[in-house]
């Protein structure tokens, strides 16, 4: 195995490690969302942004490697252990991407439910409990009644 191939495998392994860490952060984010721990949510959001930036850099490096014709043949030569290892690592990357995407979707659902709950609380606070409601294209409810706060009464 050449030095370039070793660096490429190392790059893929770094990507897997980072995706594993990202999944862990997404799990922590879910717990923080359920506990409504805004400080931790903010901290995890910053951590996710940093990780996503690193993943972007790794992906760019991978693309540069793949754009080289010589490397393209090395990867697709099924007779080599290098090609087999790349395939296995790629499968692992795809699995982690699916896990992260699924967890992110779950977290987004929790956030959406929290937003709807907060809107309901605000409606109660503003005294709009028996208002007529219509829905926007996004499925959000819009009041047809002027808002008069109970706090001002």
The pLDDT of residue 153: 43
Per-residue pLDDT tens over the stretch 5-39: 889 999 999 999 999 999 999 999 999 999 999 99
Residues 6+ apart with CB under 8 A from 111: 33
127 with 150: CB under 8 angstroms? yes
pTM here is 0.76
Q: How many other CB atoms are found less than 10 A from the CB of residue 138?
A: 5
Q: How far apart are CA 122 and CA 128, in angstroms?
A: 8
Per-residue pLDDT tens over the stretch 42-79: 999 999 999 999 999 999 999 988 888 777 667 777 77
């Amino acid at each position: 195995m050449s030095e370039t191939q070793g660096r490429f495998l190392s790059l893929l392994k770094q990507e897997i490690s980072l995706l594993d860490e990202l999944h862990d952060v997404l799990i922590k984010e879910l717990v923080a969302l359920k506990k409504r721990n805004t400080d931790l949510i903010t901290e995890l959001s910053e951590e996710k942004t940093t990780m996503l930036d690193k993943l972007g850099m790794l992906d760019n490096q991978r693309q540069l490697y793949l754009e080289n014709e010589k490397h393209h043949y090395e990867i697709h030569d099924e007779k080599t252990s290098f090609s087999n290892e790349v395939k296995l690592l790629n499968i692992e990357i795809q699995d982690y991407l699916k896990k992260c995407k699924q967890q992110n979707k779950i977290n987004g659902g929790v956030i959406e439910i929290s937003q709807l709950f907060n809107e309901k609380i605000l409606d109660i606070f503003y005294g709009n409990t028996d208002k007529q409601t219509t829905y926007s294209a996004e499925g959000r409810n819009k009041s047809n009644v002027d808002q008069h706060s109970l706090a001002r009464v």
